[in-house]
Amino acid sequence: KSFQYIATERVTPMITYSLSDETLEQNQIGTKGEYTAHYLARYRHQVILKNLRHKDSKTSQLLENVSLWLSEISENIEVKAKVYEELQSVDLKYTYTYGKTTTQDFTPLNVGFGITYVLPIITAILKAKEGDLIIIENPETHLHPKAQSKIAMLCSIAAANGIQIILETHSDHILNGIRVATKENILEPEQSKIYYFRKDKDNLETKIDQINIDSNGAIDRYPKGFFDQFDEDLDRLIVW
């Protein structure tokens, strides 16, 4: 019950989502996040860790804070989840509020794909308690760079409060988001570790480089192939 795994292949936007009382009783949302809507509908009032509360939240309730953290991805969004027992399904909707104006409900099919794809990640982190372990594959999938950085910041806050998170990522925005969190003293240098997996040419053995972030957000080494493609492309672009 203290472990949650979120796979790369996550549940896609749908009109309705499945129920699973058994999964929820184990404090899980499914490896694809397929029971996220059911979890939010049932445990909307669940109290989250104090330090995971969004700065704009009025309560420590799960659903409110999920909506606010999701607003960092898609501004002014609110998540709604309702169980229909007779249909054995969950209705997931999104609305947007601008000043005094609130939009109609939108289904996941009518908003950005990344919103529904990142929802299980935000939910998994916010429902976690100190000592829990969360493994997330490719948190950056279907998110623009700013959103990726926000997710990295949320992961950093969780890690700083005793939640162990293992991220498998190919995103320099995720990496830089963690570096920024370290420089801003949200995360202590010893609370994060980076491992770069590589193979040398003509060698089947996988080699692992450990990379550390210091208190200024700098990293102590750049193995070849470690997020250096931007610099290599830039060098080619500026050659006259």
Asked whether the whole model's pTM tops 0.85, one would answer yes
pLDDT at 101: 94
Q: Using CA of residue 144, residue 150, residue 153, residue 155, what is the dihedral sign?
A: negative
Tell how far CA 117 is from the center of its chain: 9
Measured distance CA(11)–CA(39) in Å, rounded: 14
Q: Evaluate whether 134 touches 128 at the Cβ level (below 8 Å).
A: yes
Measured distance CA(191)–CA(164) in Å, rounded: 9
Give Rg (Cα) of the chain: 19
- List C-alpha distances in Å: 70 to 65, 112, 194: 8, 12, 26
Pseudo-torsion of CA 76, 72, 66, 185, nearest 10°?
A: -140
pLDDT at 32: 97
pLDDT at 39: 98
- List C-alpha distances in Å: 106 to 36, 97, 165, 231, 237: 17, 12, 31, 41, 43
The amino acid at residue 202 is: D
pLDDT at 225: 81
pLDDT at 126: 98
Tens digits of residue pLDDT in 84-112: 988 889 999 999 999 899 999 999 999 99
pLDDT at 232: 77
Length of the chain: 240
- Token readout for 27 is 């404090």
Which residues does the chain have with pLDDT short of 50?
Answer: none
What's the 3-state SS for the chain?
Answer: CCEEEECCCCCCCCCEEECCHHHHHCCCCCCCCCCHHHHHHHCCCCECCHHHCCCCCCCCEHHHHHHHHHHCCCCCEEEEEEEEHHHCEEEEEEEEEECCEECCCECHHHCCHHHHHHHHHHHHHHCCCCCCEEEEECCCCCCCHHHHHHHHHHHHHHHHCCCEEEEECCCHHHHHHHHHHHHCCCCCHHHCCEEEEEECCCCCCEEEEEECECCCCCECCCCCCCCCHHHHHHHHHCCC
pLDDT at 200: 82
